[in-house]
Amino acid sequence: MLCRLVRYNFLDFEVHVVESACKDSQNTVSIEGFCPDENLDSDRYYAFGLIFKVTQVQRCICAFKLQGELELLNTEYATADDLYKESLTLLYEILDEKIEELERILHCTIVKPPLSGVIGEKGKKKCACCGSVFDEYVPLSPYYKEQAKKNHVSDDFRSEMVNKLQYSCPVCGAADRERAYAICMKKELAKDACLRVLDIAPSMALGNFICRTFPNVEYRTADLFMPGVDYKIDIMHMDIIPDGSIDFFICSHVLEHVSDDMQAMFELRRILSAEGKGILVVPIDLNAEGIDEDPSCSDEGERWRRFYQNDHIRRYSRRGFLNRIHRAGFNVKECDREYFGREVMKKNGLIDTSCVYLVSKNEE
């Protein structure tokens, strides 16, 4: 039925995957780089397969919403919007079926976004990345609270941006900070701009937003470990990228992972064009007095206690981060609640202290 309604290769491919992914329960299914252990019992193995199916259907819905490339193949559909809603309804029927099956196997409840939010009926929230409207965002995973308890982490960390109760979009998965970046980019960049954009440690939701909103950009991705990026590089040594060749970069929640954050920022300044800009954001503890860092620390428990995550080697204070930005030779524009506006912040689930640091070259 879907193929009859929509002639769109990406969507057709996703639907094909959904229908055929796990017919053979012996196949190992990888979900975002994670493969289930080969010794899992058959029910659990099949459950992983179903998770993969549900994920693909959700991505299918998101892709359909974002791309909007529709063809009216039947006269019964008066408008593209009618076809769009009918096709989403069919996708949701598939999703309902798979979720019910998964809930029976795992004995749990799975929450999916309401169809009314996806097809654009009125709601209290509106994601800046995908444009979907719904009642609430999805809370932050309990994993972080569990790890904090397990590793005896103090509760004095006060995040500048993370909204634990309204963290991610139920449709495209965009985190609160990514929704803030989308707002910034729409305010700072012309829709028809011909720019070279570099996204470091990219997210699918923000990448889709950039390519859809700015069709003339040359969008490139970079990461040292992530598969499928354009540049597999260390941010501290980006020799493959020429001086002044990037017009806009996104470097979000990366610097707290690298051994020398100043060297990384010097590299970002080197590749940025004279009139270029960049989003430079790290997790900031508003209660911190200075920067606590220790690249030699390898104990995961100690990292949780000092840096609030097992793969972080640095905890930033706001003043300390701004000082380092200036030392790296950047000017910085602080995009805060006055920049966003109260209504936009509310619709995107941003907390009052949310701030995006927009940097440019200081040529003095």
Averaged confidence pLDDT in the chain? 77
Rounded to whole angstroms, how far apart are CA atoms 220 and 248?
Answer: 10
Q: Which residue has the tokens 């209660």?
A: 287
Would you kindly state where each structural domain of the chain is located, as residue ranges?
2-112, 143-361
Judged by phi (left if over 0) then psi (alpha if -120 to 50, else beta), residue 260 lies in beta
CB 286 within 8 A of CB 160: yes
CA distance 45 to 48: 5
List the end-to-end C-alpha distance of the chain, in Å, as a whole number: 62
Query: For every one of its 364 residues, what pLDDT tens digit does the chain have, with 9 covering 90 and above?
Result: 222 222 222 233 232 223 333 333 333 333 333 333 444 445 544 554 555 555 555 555 554 444 443 333 333 434 445 555 555 566 666 666 666 666 666 665 655 555 544 444 445 889 999 998 888 899 988 888 888 899 998 888 899 999 999 999 988 999 999 999 999 999 999 999 999 999 999 999 999 999 999 999 999 999 999 989 999 999 999 999 999 999 999 999 999 999 999 999 999 999 999 999 999 999 999 999 999 999 999 999 999 999 999 999 999 999 999 999 999 999 999 999 999 998 999 999 999 999 999 999 976 5
The pLDDT tens digits of the residues spanning 181-227 come to 999 999 999 999 999 999 999 999 999 999 999 999 999 999 999 98
Please state which of the four CATH numbers 1.10.10.10, 3.50.50.60, 3.40.50.150, 3.40.50.880 is assigned to the domain occupying 143-361: 3.40.50.150
Question: In the Cβ-directed half-sphere of 11, how many Cα atoms lie within 13 Å?
Answer: 24
CB pairs under 8 A, 24+ apart, for 295-301?
295/259, 295/260, 300/151, 301/151, 301/152
349: region left, alpha or beta (phi > 0 left; psi from -120 to 50 alpha): left
Tokens of 359: 């940097």
Conformation bin of residue 330: beta by default, left when phi > 0, alpha when psi is -120 to 50? beta
